[in-house]
Amino acid sequence: MINKKAVELLKEAYLFFIFLSIFGLLARILYVYIYTKDKNPYYIISAIIWFLLPCLMAAGMLLNSEKFVVLALFFPITLFLIATFIDTLVRYKNCTHAIAAKCVSFQRRGKGWYYAPQFLFRYNGEAVLAYSFISYSKRKFKKNFEINQTYDIFINPKKPNYCVDKRFFPGDKIVDLIFMVIFLFLGTVAIITI
DSSP line for 12-64: HHHHHHHHHHHHHHHHHHHIIIIII----HHHHHHHHHHHHHHHHHHHHHHTT
At residue 152, the pLDDT reads 92
| 3-state secondary structure (DSSP) of residue 111 | coil
At residue 43, the pLDDT reads 66
At residue 127, the pLDDT reads 92
10-residue averages of pLDDT along the chain (194 residues): 59 65 68 59 68 70 70 73 80 89 84 81 91 81 88 91 76 74 78 72
CB neighbourhood size of 118 (10 A): 18
Decide: 94 and 40 in contact? Cβ < 8 Å: no
How many angstroms separate the CA atoms of 172 and 85, rounded? 10
